[in-house]
Structure 1
């Protein structure tokens, strides 16, 4: 069927065809193409001669490269409906890939009002559609970002209505139906409030257009949740506040921990204050103790000097009279022996022994005092040489009593004061001879060592001591019950202890389960 009326008016539309920036296509009642303007021909890359009398849907199938599908009008085309109803329709259609148009179908009627064809006007909206798609994608990306921020986001109207909530807010408040535009102060509190919260930053934002922040105390059933809210204004192009965006962070646990930390700090400060006061008190007590000790040390030093002078004086004053008594008694015994009876001669012997003991005591006191005062003269000494000297010194009593004096193994060289160590061995051997008793048959001088000390020991198989007796044998003038009737001063082991102390060591006894005793003397290896 032709389209003669449109053909007759072709000249009238020539100007429009040439200059209008949109496509125009004439279709007959059967949707065959009768004409199209130059703009549209350029857009789809065809000429009117190539497409004239073709069905419009055939052309579109050709443009899309699918001619086998061009058997009926396109599903998104409104031309058949316009021809049927005589109404104008507008719709969006992608003519070819990358060319999207807004199509308006205008029916053309004859004098009787019968639709004899249509004019299809196509406006290129490709750019705007692409922009719209980008906006949609941006909105989706923005929504995705907002939903995954990890904090709550809500949109509030000037009337305090909830307009939108992000994913986090929906998780916190799943009961809220945004489409009903509920009031925020009712929905965000449980039980609901009847008025705006006193701390609400959003109300201030809606009033003055500024950014406000606050921390809430939101009742939710039996607990109080603390939310940090930052409210920012939404403004129109004239600067009027049209709403507010709330950025919401649940800081309940953080606030609880901060409060606990604050309590801990306060307790810690109190503890520090208390400890400081105690420390200051202890420091003052320590200062007093140090002062007292210094004073005691000075007093002890003075007392020591006085004792030393006293000891020297006593020893001097005792020694000369005791020597005189001894000498006079010897003369008396020699020259007047025939004049004395037996009792008189016994008295003379007792006087001689007592004066000898006084002289020995004075010498030991002098020896003890000199030991305390003498500075060590450390050198390398051979313990075997000292053993030889001890054997020679005690040869007579050893031979008379048939007592062996041996070494447990070859004795080494050590660094120590030669005279002092000789005195140690002399005193310990003398101690064994004096107090070993009738059962004494052997004295052994030996050596052992630790990581830090040499240890020289003297062992005997005499009567020994009990554990109780061995605890206090190193005191001044200490003599055990077993020493009754034996000459001695009680200073020998005291001098040994003093020498051990000076050599950075100590002296200690080891009591044998069977008989005998061992005295150990340690000497530092770092002299």
Structure 2
């Protein structure tokens, strides 16, 4: 019976030993066993393969021989004494040195086998390679540091918000002075409120982003980190979770207090200038009309006693006063052009072009000038009165400055992708190229304008109208070969 039991025990023991041997040889785990003196008595194939050693180079040596100097001191002074006392350790970070001198970062766990007296006789050690993980952690730390450096380099407040409870998850020092208080919300920080913003005038960018799932820009009044109330332009961007829902919001705010002050001052100055211009134009127009009327009366009643020089003086006064009245009218038109809001509607350009042709029909006939315009022009979106004014001014400009030999005015059109492009051409005297620069500025008249009545406002009005249609105006000309004025109108009005 004893012999049979001993045989069974021995067979079981040998079977366990064989299983351990197979585990060491086949398992893809870094394993080794040490005796009570920390000398390696067994080592797994994976351990040898990972560190690049042969078994003969490892067995019998201390396990600490394969550690870096810092890890070896830590093991001998801290870990091993505690391990031999407790009989186990778990997830100790070590650095092993491979045979090729590369460093392998591991987590070491070990359990001791003790005899009946409680003395450690051998220990099983498991190593987990965490080199890649540590490298990833270091990269994350590096990227976080880099991100923090970028955020701190920003001179304007930047923060990341929880889309559900408005709490600030991350912020730079331009937004928050010192550490972020626990559960600090954006509305508490920037508005000193106990509830989120509401109302159309001060709508909450976070709620708008959540509703639209798109970036948004709004203007708000924010307290800065020093407690000063500032006008800011808030830019908010959504961050989506794996389900496509907004779970965080990136926000940054630009201080536009000074810009708002300047814009307000500009609006006030523009209003003052407008009132001044209307006042001056009225004050100038009234006496000019009076001078014109009195001169006509003088000429009518006393023409029989005036000599030729007196009559010529009367004619010059009449002409000058009429020019003043025309200038005042053009100034008023220019002011109205700048101030009057446009009514963008779908219109047929050929109808407008034909209206302009009819206005100038008599003059075209007297001067025997041929009118040609493109018949098939697609409908466009524009302000009808403004488009009429542009064509009228450009045609009037051609008739005034084209010269007596001009024989044709041609209206053209082309589709230029995002713009409708119109042209008004003549075959008149043309303009020197060096005079084209600034031709659309206020009161600018070129060399060919000498002796021709005009205010210098017609092309400035054209430019103002075209820019309100998000387009531009330009001229292509050459002395003796006529001039072509182009203007574009955006298709996205």
TM class, shorter-length: 0.5 to 0.7
- The CA deviation at 1:461 is 1.5
Change (3 A) 1:278 1:477: same
1:447-484 Cα deviation digits (max 9, x unpaired): 32344443332111222234443332222222112211
The structure-2 alpha-carbon separation of the partners of 1:281 and 1:345, relative to structure 1 and needing over 3 Å to count, comes to farther
> What do you get for the CA RMSD once the two structures are aligned?
4.1
Task: Tell me which of 206, 229, 238 is aligned to 2:84.
Answer: 206
| Structure 2 partner of 1:433 | 399
Deviation by residue 1:179-233 (Cα, 9 ceiling, x = unmatched): xx84526854799xx9995246444333343445633456778676655432211
1:346 CA drift (Å): 2.4
* CA distance 1:262–1:441, shift in 2 (3 Å): same
Paired residue for 2:414, among 427, 437, 448? 448
Match of 1:109 in 2: none
CA distance in 1, matches of 2:56, 2:417: 82
Q: Rate the CA distance shift 1:230–1:392 in 2: closer, same or farther, 3 A.
A: closer
> Tell me, what secondary structure is at the counterpart of 1:479?
coil
Structure number with larger C-alpha Rg = 1
Q: Distance in 1 between matches of 2:115 and 2:255?
A: 82
Q: CA deviation at 1:348?
A: 2.0
The yes-or-no answer on 1:233 pairing with 2:104 is no
Aligned to 1:518: 484
2:208 is equivalent to residue 242 of structure 1: no
Q: Cα offset for 1:156? A: 2.3
After superposition, give the CA deviation of every residue in 1:78-126 in whole Å (9 maximum; x if it has no partner). Answer: xxxxxxxxxxxxxxxxxxxxxxxxxxxxxxxxxxxxxxxxxxxxx996x
Conserved? CA contact 2:110–2:124, under 8 Å: yes
- From 26, 33, 38, the counterpart of 1:148: 26
TM score, norm. by length of structure 1 = 0.64
**C-alpha displacement of 1:337:** 3.3
1:315-358 deviation per Cα after TM superposition (whole angstroms, max 9, x unaligned): 22222222222222223333333433333332222111101111
Measured against aligned partners, the alpha-carbon deviations of 1:142-179 in whole angstroms (never above 9, x if no partner) come to 3222223334333322244433333244554437478x
1:254 is displaced (CA, Å) by 5.3
Task: Give the C-alpha shift of residue 489 in structure 1.
Answer: 0.5
**Which runs of 5 or more residues in structure 1 are unaligned?**
1-20, 22-122
- Cα deviation for residue 415 of structure 1 reads 4.5
1:337-352 paired onto structure 2 within 5 Å: 337-352=303-318
In structure 2, the CA distance between the partners of 1:253 and 1:506, relative to structure 1 (3 Å rule), is: closer
Q: Which residue of 1 aligns with 2:153?
A: 274
In the TM superposition, what are the counterparts of 1:38-437 in structure 2 within 5 Å?
Answer: 136-171=14-49, 172=51, 173-174=53-54, 176=56, 182=60, 184=62, 188=66, 198-199=76-77, 201-211=79-89, 214-216=92-94, 226-236=105-115, 240-249=119-128, 251=130, 255=134, 258-259=137-138, 261-275=140-154, 290-379=256-345, 381-437=347-403
Q: Is the 8 A contact 1:506 1:523 kept in 2?
A: yes
Residue 393 of structure 1, CA deviation = 2.4
Rounded to whole Å, the distance in 1 between the matches of 2:385 and 2:82 is: 99
Shift of 1:430: 0.4
Q: Is the 8 A contact 1:506 1:522 kept in 2?
A: yes
Q: 1:212·1:230 contact (CA, 8 Å) conserved in 2?
A: yes
Query: Are residues 213 and 512 of structure 1, via their aligned partners in 2, closer, same or farther at CA, if it must alter by over 3 Å?
Result: same
- Deviation per CA, 1:493-523: give whole Å up to 9, x if none: 1222233234443333233697222223333
Inter-CA distance 220–334: structure 2 relative to 1 (3 Å threshold):
closer
Which stretch shows the higher mean deviation, 468-477 or 354-363? 468-477
Q: Aligned in 2, Cα 1:183/1:508: closer, same or farther, shift over 3 Å?
A: closer
Structure 1 residues 525 and 158: CA distance shift in structure 2, 3 A: closer
Would you say how many aligned residue pairs link Structure 1 and Structure 2? 402
Determine the structure 1 residue equivalent to 2:189. none
Task: Quote the offset at 1:235 in angstroms.
Answer: 2.7
Contact residue 430 and residue 477 of structure 2 kept, 8 A: yes
Structure-1 separation of matches of 2:447 and 2:358: 30
What secondary structure sits across from 1:454 in the alignment? strand
Aligned to 2:170: none
Please, what TM-score do these two structures have when normalized by structure 2?
Answer: 0.68
Q: Which has the higher helix share?
A: 1
Question: Partners in 1 of 2:111 and 2:302 — Cα distance?
Answer: 133
Deviations 1:16-35 (A, max 9, x none): xxxxx9xxxxxxxxxxxxxx
Alpha-carbon spacing, 1:335–1:417, altered in 2? closer, same or farther (3 Å): same
Picking from 493, 500, 505, the partner of 2:466 is: 500
Aligned-partner SS, 2:428: coil
Give the aligned partner of residue 97 of structure 1: none
Deviation per residue, 1:35-68 (Å, 9 max, x gap)? xxxxxxxxxxxxxxxxxxxxxxxxxxxxxxxxxx
Q: Is the CA contact (8 Å cut-off) linking 1:443 and 1:461 kept in structure 2? A: yes
Return the offset for 1:442: 0.7
Which has the larger displacement, 383-392 or 283-292? Answer: 283-292
Distance 1:147 1:201, change over 3 A: farther
Structure 2: gaps (5+ residues): 159-172, 176-221, 225-229, 233-253
